[in-house]
Structure 1
Amino acid sequence: MSQSRTFTLNTEPHVATVGETQLLFQPEVMGDEFLDAYEALQESQKNLGVDVNNLAAADPENLRAVVRSLRLFLARLMLPESAQTFARWEVVKSGKAVSSHATPGEAAEAAAKVKGDATVKDVGMRLPDRVLVELLEWAVELYGGGQRPTGLSSGSVQASPPPGTRGRAVSPSKASTRARGR
């Protein structure tokens, strides 16, 4: 006997509301797209030599680079309009924006081609680190099959067992001698 099964694809964007801004994430991401973005995030952190479980020992410039890589990872999963709001770098000359770019590398290349002094300015969405980590964990749950990333949370520990869990010891009442004749 043959079997039939219907699979549903998400067609509506996932929405992350941050303050008054709604960031729209792709409804579906193919596995390799997610894995490529996640691998790039991990590789950038590894190259910087930052132990995300011991941030106190990290160089502040390396920490900034980790945050940039996190923002770029999240932007890769967003719809273009939201990605442009979330992560954007402008080339600025004489106080005026000359061009806008999705990565700081692209902006640096463009700035190098501008005659005269041009700088790169981060004009993306500014968020506290805790919100970036929460967005990361949410995105990984959406696209990564519910598995959280390892080492990126702020020192989470496994939950304690629920209260009232019994141990294996024998209770004194059961260990006592039974009364005979009953």
Structure 2
Amino acid sequence: MTETDPVLRALAHPLRLRMLSLMWPGPMSAAELARELDVSHALASQHLRRLDAVGLVELAEERTRRGGRERRYRTVQGSPLSDQRQATPLLAETLAHSLRERAARRVEGSEGVTVDGELWVDPETWRSVSRRLADLAVELHDAARPPHTPGTTPVGITVMAFPLQDAQGTGGAGTA
């Protein structure tokens, strides 16, 4: 049995995924994360240390606050999720958990996009669509602002698109 990649294991916890999303637009401390996520400071610190240990966050600033030192971290720019090449059930289950949690918080009657499909397309269409999906994710991440910034609204996005094996256990024609 092979050992699971430590980065993947760190990503495979819904709370850590939320932390990474929250720290994307700017640095946050464990105390700020704890308040935003409604968890204890100790739990937020534990998860933050795990993310730091695998290089998914970096120390952005250290400042004096209430007589102590506050360490604020930010998400390392880039997308470790989009770089995952393994069709791991661990990551899929974590994303499914995040999707269930976010769907429960959806504003009733709000606009949104819901898509599901198992489709056969030519390789060029697949390459084009997957590039555009990645570009859209970058666009959203680039537009992200710190939580509760006036004039912003929280949005959820979970996308997992990949080539499938066919019924005979092989990839379709033209897949790599």
The question of a shared fold, defined as TM-score above 0.5 by the shorter chain, is answered with no
Larger Rg: 1
Using the size of structure 2 for normalisation, the TM-score is 0.22
* Greater RCO structure (CA 8 Å; 6+ sep): 2
Q: Give TM-score scaled by structure 1 length.
A: 0.21
